Amino acid sequence: MLDQVKAAVSVSQIQQGEAETADDWLATEVPVALEYNGISHVVLMATPDQLAALGLGFSLSEQIIQHPQELFDVEVIEAADGWRIQMEIATPRFLALKERRRQLTGRTGCGLCGTESLADVWRQLPAKPAGELAVLPTPDYQTIRDAFDAFSQKQPLFAATGACHGAAWLDANSMVSIVCEDVGRHNALDKLIGTVVRQSETQLSAGSLLLTSRASVEMVQKSAVMGIRQVIVLSAPTALAVEIAHRAGISLIRYQPGKRRLVVF
């Protein structure tokens, strides 16, 4: 499977003033069209694996469908110019998507493109959990360190190419049970969402999301839409991402192994 998502190229390696020719591995990046009920919705640049999971995860995190059961069928097709994810969704959801497309002037793979104002962002977020549900205990440093160590061992594409993002699911038993990779950080998260929803009976609110990328607005928003309540990242979040996390009741944590500390926002 790894051979489908990486390609060998000839490079010139320069070390201490000496150059030599060698083969190197690069991650594969291809256009992937997401189609709903026969209509093309968006084209993503993605790594061509776990595409059915990507289709489901994108459909949920972008609120095209509200429940996995509203996605009736998924067919992944390789074409001469890329890949197509052909999905059949419930009629009410398709009609809502058509109306949504009619109102938008542009659309890409990010979670905020096409919105007209910041108020639109807040309206997309679910209600913040109340009472005890609003507070998640912060894991201890060693638990997160062990989790990211296990995470790194399950990233074969990054190990081979150094050119992709990763998203991992830390379950309620502090085990890294699922890892997804992609050249796009949004795609990696959507693949993870689709995989967790398909494979696990556990609610997304019962575990934690680990990300190798920064916690951008779009990544936090997708997490909020899916009910994820704890997001742990290696890179610092943006200020607006922290504000959205607070509004959505998400515990946002930065893991800093070099300083041996966790930063809770």
State the average pLDDT over residues 244-263: 94
CA distance 163 to 231: 22
User: In this structure, are 39 and 64 located in the same domain?
Assistant: yes
Share of the chain above pLDDT 90, in %: 65
- The total of structural domains in the chain comes to 2
Q: Indicate whether 205 belongs to any domain.
A: yes
User: In this structure, are 166 and 108 located in the same domain?
Assistant: no
- Residue 150 — very low, low, confident or very high, per pLDDT cuts 50/70/90? very high
For position 180, which CATH number holds? 3.40.140.10
Q: Indicate whether 219 belongs to any domain.
A: yes
CA 88 to chain centre: 22
Give the 3-state secondary structure of residue 217: helix
* pTM for the whole structure: 0.89
User: Is 164 annotated in the active site?
Assistant: no
Q: Indicate whether 8 belongs to any domain.
A: no
User: In this structure, are 148 and 174 located in the same domain?
Assistant: yes
User: In this structure, are 58 and 158 located in the same domain?
Assistant: no
**Pairing status of strand 82-89 against strand 6-15:** unpaired
CA distance 133 to 152: 30
Structure confidence by residue, pLDDT tens digits, 109-119: 454 554 555 55
Whole-angstrom CA distances from 46 to 5, 49, 93, 132, 187 are: 10, 9, 25, 39, 7
What's the pLDDT score for residue 123? 54
Q: Is the pLDDT of residue 135 over 90?
A: no
CA distance 122 to 124: 5
Q: Indicate whether 3 belongs to any domain.
A: no
Q: Is the pLDDT of residue 132 over 60?
A: no
Q: Indicate whether 223 belongs to any domain.
A: yes
Cα 64–Cα 193–Cα 112 angle in degrees, nearest 5: 50
Q: Indicate whether 94 belongs to any domain.
A: yes
Q: Indicate whether 240 belongs to any domain.
A: yes
Task: Give every CB contact of residue 17 below 8 A, 6+ residues apart in sequence.
Answer: none
User: In this structure, are 154 and 232 located in the same domain?
Assistant: yes
Structure confidence by residue, pLDDT tens digits, 154-176: 999 999 999 899 999 999 899 99
Which residue, 69, 86, 117, sits at the end of a domain?
A: 117
Q: Indicate whether 192 belongs to any domain.
A: yes
User: In this structure, are 151 and 243 located in the same domain?
Assistant: yes
Which residue, 68, 94, 117, sits at the end of a domain?
A: 117
What's the pLDDT score for residue 196? 95
Buried b (16+ CB within 10 A) or exposed e, 222-236: bbbbbebbbbbbbee
User: In this structure, are 199 and 258 located in the same domain?
Assistant: yes
**Pairing status of strand 165-170 against strand 176-182:** antiparallel
User: In this structure, are 96 and 181 located in the same domain?
Assistant: no
Query: Exposure of 129 by Cβ count < 10 A (0-12 exposed, 13-18 middle, 19+ buried)?
Result: middle
User: In this structure, are 112 and 179 located in the same domain?
Assistant: no
Query: Exposure of 54 by Cβ count < 10 A (0-12 exposed, 13-18 middle, 19+ buried)?
Result: buried
User: In this structure, are 81 and 182 located in the same domain?
Assistant: no
Which residue, 65, 93, 117, sits at the end of a domain?
A: 117
For position 45, which CATH number holds? 3.10.20.10
User: In this structure, are 111 and 151 located in the same domain?
Assistant: no
What's the pLDDT score for residue 114? 46
Contact at 8 Å (CB) between 197 and 60?
yes
User: In this structure, are 60 and 140 located in the same domain?
Assistant: no
Query: Which residue among 110, 113, 164, 180 is the active-site one?
Result: 110
What is the span of the domain harbouring residue 170? 131-264
